[in-house]
Structure 1
Amino acid sequence: MKNPYKNQIKIEFDAVSQNEALARVIICGFLMELHPTVEELCDVKTALSEAVTNSIVHGYKDQSGKIKLICRIYNDKELYISVTDFGRGIEDISKAREPMFTTDRESERSGMGFTIMETFMDELKVTSRVGKWTRIVMRKKIA
């Protein structure tokens, strides 16, 4: 059976802040086959950075853990990104997606992560199971 996607990568890495930069490098290399504009590349890197940072900061909150990154290309032009952590989960996804909402009031978090992801990507879907996992799925058509 033929895969419905043209290309795919799967990688799992430790939920540490240094690996946010790794995720950005990975997506840049993966995206090159679509010949993105500089603007498209920056949009995707920024959205992915926010997703990975959310997983590290909110999913694990000073605990160790893993993040699973899946990237796919569909129809020669559509980028799919899935970022999954296996941490605390999100109790109220609708509330978490509100601009300026944050569960980390002690640090300098702005509560704009999901808003930034929505702004730079064509589609954003967040699913979660409290105490188990959170998955952020983003899609973007590359011109």
Structure 2
Amino acid sequence: MKPVNEMKLVFPSRSANESYARVAVAAFAAQLDPTIEEINDIKTAVSEAVTNCIVHAYRDKIGTIFLTVKLFEEGKISIKIRDSGCGIENVEQAMEPLFTTAGEERAGLGFAVMESFMDKLTVRSKPGKGTTVSMEKRLKARPLRV
């Protein structure tokens, strides 16, 4: 199925850009006329994915985060967040609640949060090459405003 609209953002993995990504995706998703709850779910999932890039993928350096959002006629939103960071050795283990590689100050709930707020979550990663987080959510049926 071909998207009716899409956007791409590229930005450095600085903490300040987490809120930028969240707001940009929310503004773009507004075309689907989401409910407040739906937009909050999307914003939370995007925040978690971008924070993972900042905290885990690039650790103590600045790298590049690639974000793509696609909107579909039936009210589906597809979000892909990709980095070229350190990658994940064991994706299955990383997706377990409370698992973290960032020490005691991190809760290890990022993937669990993303999964709870979105309809579909896929994580692909290659150590030394980076990680791609793909998320989908189908919003309540409303006409698309493009």
Matched, 1:109 2:106: yes
Q: Give the aligned residue type for 1:117.
A: M
Structure 2 alignment gaps of length 5 or more: 141-146
Question: For residues 48-95 of structure 1, what are the alpha-carbon distances to aligned partners after superposition, in whole Å with 9 as ceiling and x for unaligned?
Answer: 000000011000001110000000012340000000011000000000
- Residues 91-118 of structure 1 show CA distances to partners (whole Å, capped at 9, x for unaligned) of 0000000000000115x10000000000
Partner residue, 2:63 = 65
Q: Give the structure 2 partner of residue 23 of structure 1.
A: 21
Q: 2:124 aligns with which of 112, 123, 127?
A: 127
TM-score of the superposed pair, with normalisation by structure 2 = 0.94
**Does the Cα contact within 8 Å between 1:6 and 1:76 map onto a contact in 2?**
no
| 1:89 maps to amino acid | G
Unaligned stretches of 5+ in structure 1?
none
Note if 1:142 corresponds to 2:116. Answer: no
CA distance in structure 2 between the aligned counterparts of 1:11 and 1:115, rounded to whole angstroms? 24
1:10 corresponds in structure 2 to: 8
Map of 1:85 onto structure 2: 83
Query: For 2:73 and 2:136, how far apart are their aligned partners in 1?
Result: 12
CA RMSD, 1 decimal: 1.0
Q: How far apart, CA to CA, are the structure 2 residues paired with 1:105 and 1:19?
A: 22
> Matches of 2:34 and 2:72 in 1, distance apart?
14
Helix, strand or coil at the partner of 2:65: strand
Distance in 1, matches of 2:19 and 2:110, equals 16
Give the AA of the match of 1:138. Answer: M
